[in-house]
Structure 1
Amino acid sequence: MPIAPAPTRRQFVQVGASTALGLGLPSLLASRAHAATRKSKSVILVNLTGGLSHIDTLDMKPDAPAEMRGEFKPISTAIPGVQICEHLPLLAKRMQTWALVRSLSHNENGHLPGTHRLLTGSTMPLKRGSDLDNVLSRRDWPCYAAGLNYVRPRHDGVPNGVTLPHSLIEGPLTWPGQHAGFLGPHHDPMLVKQDPNSPKFRMDAFSLPDGVDPARVDSRRSLLDNLESSGQGDPAFRGHQHQAFELLSSGKVATAFHLDREAPTVRDRYGRNQFGQSLLLARRLVQSGVPIVQANMGIVQTWDTHTDNWGKLKNRLLPWLDQGLAALIEDLQQEGLFADTLVAVLGEFGRTPKISTLPGQTVAGRDHWASVYSGLFAGGGVVGGRVIGKSDKVGAHPVSQPYTPYDIGATIYQALGVPPDAEIRDTLNRPTAINAGRPMDILFENR
Structure 2
Amino acid sequence: MQPPSNWTPTRGSHRHPIGVARREFLQIGFSGLLGVGMGSWSLAHAAAATGGTTAPSRLSRARSVVIVFFTGGVSHHDTFDPKPDAPDGIRGDFNPIATKVPGLFISEHLPRLASHADKLAIVRSLSHGHSNHLNATHWILTGHPQPGAFFDKIASRDDYPHPAALVARVRPPADGLPSGVLLPTFLMQGPLIWPGQHAGFLGPKYDPWIIKDDPNRNEFQVKGLTLPDGFSVERLRARRALFEQLHTLRDQIERDADPLDPARALAYSTLTSDRLANAFQLDRERAEVRDRYGRHMFGQSLLLARRLIEAGVPIVQVNLGEVQTWDSHGDIFRRLKNDLLPPTDQGLSALLDDLDARGLLDETLVVMVGEFGRTPRLGLSAGATIPGRDHWPGVFSAVFAGGGVQGGQVVGKSDPIGAYPGSRPYAPADVAATVYDALAIPPHIEVRDRLNRPLHLITGKPIEALYRGFEA
Report if TM-score (shorter chain) is over 0.5: yes
Aligned to 1:334: 357
Distance 2:32 2:337 in 1: 47
| Structure 2 counterparts to residues 280-299 of structure 1, below 5 A | 280-299=303-322
| Structure 2 counterparts to residues 35-46 of structure 1, below 5 A | 35-37=56-58, 39-46=61-68
Aligned to 1:389: 412
Aligned length: 440
Match of 2:391 among 365, 368, 376: 368
Residue 209 of structure 2 is aligned to residue 211 of structure 1? no
Residue 212 of structure 2 is aligned to residue 193 of structure 1? yes
TM-score, with structure 2 as normaliser: 0.89
Match of 2:443 among 403, 407, 420: 420
Would you say the 8 A contact 1:16–1:237 is kept in 2?
no
Distance 2:135 2:85 in 1: 33
Distance 1:31 1:218 in 2: 36
**Higher mean C-alpha deviation, range 421-430 or range 340-349:** 421-430
| Structure 2 counterparts to residues 303-342 of structure 1, below 5 A | 303-342=326-365
Would you say the 8 A contact 2:134–2:153 is kept in 1?
no
Q: Secondary structure at the match of 1:376?
A: strand
Would you say the 8 A contact 2:275–2:311 is kept in 1?
yes
Residue 259 of structure 2 is aligned to residue 236 of structure 1? yes
Q: Which amino acid aligns with 2:262?
A: G
Residue 34 of structure 2 is aligned to residue 14 of structure 1? yes
Distance 2:51 2:337 in 1: 45
Deviation at 1:23, TM superposition (A): 1.3
Aligned to 1:58: 80
Q: Secondary structure at the match of 2:365?
A: strand
Aligned to 2:21: none
| Structure 2 counterparts to residues 44-443 of structure 1, below 5 A | 44-126=66-148, 135-203=154-222, 205-209=224-228, 210-213=231-234, 215-216=237-238, 218-220=240-242, 222-223=244-245, 225-226=247-248, 227-231=250-254, 235-443=258-466
Deviation at 1:283, TM superposition (A): 0.4
Would you say the 8 A contact 1:46–1:346 is kept in 2?
yes
Q: Secondary structure at the match of 2:89?
A: helix
Deviation at 1:42, TM superposition (A): 0.7
Deviation at 1:216, TM superposition (A): 1.6
Deviation at 1:12, TM superposition (A): 7.1
CA deviations 1:328-369 (Å, max 9, x no partner) are 001101111111100000000100100010122211000111
CA deviations 1:370-416 (Å, max 9, x no partner) are 11111110001101011111111111111111111100000100111
Identity across the alignment (%) = 47
* CA gap 1:319/1:271 in 2 versus in 1, 3 angstroms: same
Deviation at 1:155, TM superposition (A): 4.2
Match of 1:29 among 49, 61, 66: 49
Deviation at 1:206, TM superposition (A): 2.3
**Higher mean C-alpha deviation, range 227-236 or range 395-404:** 227-236
Q: CA RMSD in A?
A: 2.0
Distance 1:191 1:12 in 2: 15
Q: Which amino acid aligns with 1:51?
A: G
Distance 1:134 1:118 in 2: 15
* CA gap 1:35/1:319 in 2 versus in 1, 3 angstroms: same
Extract unaligned runs of 5+ from structure 1. Answer: none
Q: Secondary structure at the match of 1:294?
A: strand
CA deviations 1:194-236 (Å, max 9, x no partner) are 1111111012522445334164255145326513454367621
Distance 1:229 1:106 in 2: 53
Aligned to 2:8: none
Would you say the 8 A contact 1:163–1:192 is kept in 2?
yes
Distance 2:261 2:55 in 1: 34
Q: Which amino acid aligns with 2:210?
A: L
Q: Secondary structure at the match of 1:54?
A: coil
Distance 1:244 1:352 in 2: 45
Distance 1:402 1:286 in 2: 31
Deviation at 1:237, TM superposition (A): 1.8
